[in-house]
Amino acid sequence: MILVSCCNENGGLYVVDPESGKVETVLDLEVRGVVKLNGYWFAASGPGTSKSRKIHKLDAGFNIVATYGDERDWHGLEVRDGNLLAVDAVKDEIVELDSDLGLVRTITWHDTDEKRHTNDICPIESGLLLSSFGQGISLMPVSGPAVRKYRTGDQPHSVTVGGGRVWWCDSKAGLVLRDREIMRNSDRYLRGLRVVAGGFWYGESNRRGHSSGNCAMLRHSDGLTIEMPSPEIYTMRIMQ
């Protein structure tokens, strides 16, 4: 089973069964980042309602049981050392929260006047990988906060690690990359990527302002395709 978040038009949180192709709506709220910590799911909501621009803690039935109410432009969510890491793409900050959504600290890594639109992160042993528009993939070492560029790219998204290699989407270019190797090439906007045994899953979305297909597609590298109810996939998690 795969938990897929969709953003903007008809956004929501969906459980997808790859075997049957069934797509079930579990949260009717635009969602960007999503991650699991201590038996709870955490979801970053986009703009649009009174529950927007917040981070929600969800129980096993995907009911909201707690909310971090600081309204920001939340994007990627990750877990490191038992805490939640949330990316603010406007302020270019990472906010660290405990599992009860209590503030631990705020991490910054450059002059706040320099905007990078950092949208996602991936913890690795040596630090944090960051994906930022116009900046490519960067590494913030454990000793931080200095950042060094790791890979170039115009609109990178969904940085992750699989098989000891760094994977990511260059969304605007329509590419899935493993380090510098092109693994998929599409004429649509690619975002959302998970490496699994035997291949990888990725999200194929409409480009904003274009009508190249009505719905986003969840695709596996073996060719399996599942149509989503929204035009835009943001991210996905393999459910344990």
Residues 90-100, mean pLDDT to the nearest whole number? 92
Q: Is residue 69 very low, low, confident or very high in pLDDT (cuts 50, 70, 90)?
A: confident
pLDDT digits (tens, 9 = 90+) for 6-48: 988 888 999 999 999 999 999 999 999 999 999 999 999 876 5
Q: Is residue 209 very low, low, confident or very high in pLDDT (cuts 50, 70, 90)?
A: low
Burial label, 132 (beta-carbon count in 10 A; 0-12, 13-18, 19+): buried
pLDDT value at 134 more than 80: no
- CA 8, CA 191: separation in Å to the nearest integer? 13
pLDDT for position 51: 65
- CA 190, CA 35: separation in Å to the nearest integer? 20
Q: Where are the domains of the chain?
A: 2-238
* Entry pTM: 0.90
Q: Is residue 49 very low, low, confident or very high in pLDDT (cuts 50, 70, 90)?
A: low
pLDDT digits (tens, 9 = 90+) for 151-204: 777 889 999 999 999 999 999 999 999 988 999 999 999 999 999 998 999 999
Residues 69-91, mean pLDDT to the nearest whole number? 92
* Tokens encoding 132: 């930022």
Which residue is listed with tokens 């969304």? 171
Percent of the chain with pLDDT over 70: 89
pLDDT value at 115 more than 90: no
Structure-model confidence comparison of residues 130 and 24, the more confident one: 24
pLDDT for position 2: 97
CA 136 → CA 70, 123, 131, 139, distances in Å?
28, 16, 6, 10
CA 130, distance to chain mean position in Å, is 11
Is beta strand 189-196 parallel, antiparallel or unpaired with respect to 23-27? unpaired
2-238 is a CATH 2.130.10.10 domain:
yes
Structure-model confidence comparison of residues 232 and 146, the more confident one: 232
Residues 201-230, mean pLDDT to the nearest whole number? 86
